[in-house]
Chain A
Amino acid sequence: MSTLHTVNKSPFETNVLEICISLAKSGSTVLLYEDGVYAATEGTRAAVAIKNANGISFCVLGPDLQARGIEGKLANDIKVVDYDGFVDLVAGHDTIQAWL
């Protein structure tokens, strides 16, 4: 069963991304949006945690990256999606786990 995890908090404000990664099964997807997108930027501890999370794919919501001026800082191996892509992710997984 495939799960889409969504994280919308800054990795510096809460440890929710860490918990999400530790509980996410291989084959699941994590979508970062709102302040969660800061985890997708190069040079942060969160980006290292993402790199080390084998078997989990990571996506980030493009409009939230652009709003925050950090598009150019995106770490490798994280796929940018738009709102349509968000919908496709939701439709393409069996369950959604929204981490708040």
Chain B
Amino acid sequence: MAAIEVNGKSYEVDEEGYLSDLNQWDKDVAEAMANAEDCKLTDEHWDIINFLREYYEEYQIAPAVRVLTKAVGKKLGKDKGNSKYLYELFPYGPGKQACKYAGLPKPTGCV
């Protein structure tokens, strides 16, 4: 099992870099994952990451991108509820990349 080391703490990840244990997640590991992909986390990124964590907490799944887009539009405003905005923040795909930083498993149905 691979692991990420941040400030002396070790986080287990799977072969694609997703956290093995959701409960291990903290902001440090999110920052470290983002830095490794040359992504600097801004407040806008955190809005999405926090949204994903809340969604997972409530429904026990990472939402599909289509569902995420719609839900973000409703919660954070129409200007943010579109895939262009989300892909600008997370160029590797909002589902994949944002879920990874949020410590969630890869979205169901996401290849």
A and B touch in the complex (CB under 8 A): no
Q: List residues of chain B with CB under 8 Å of any chain A CB.
A: none
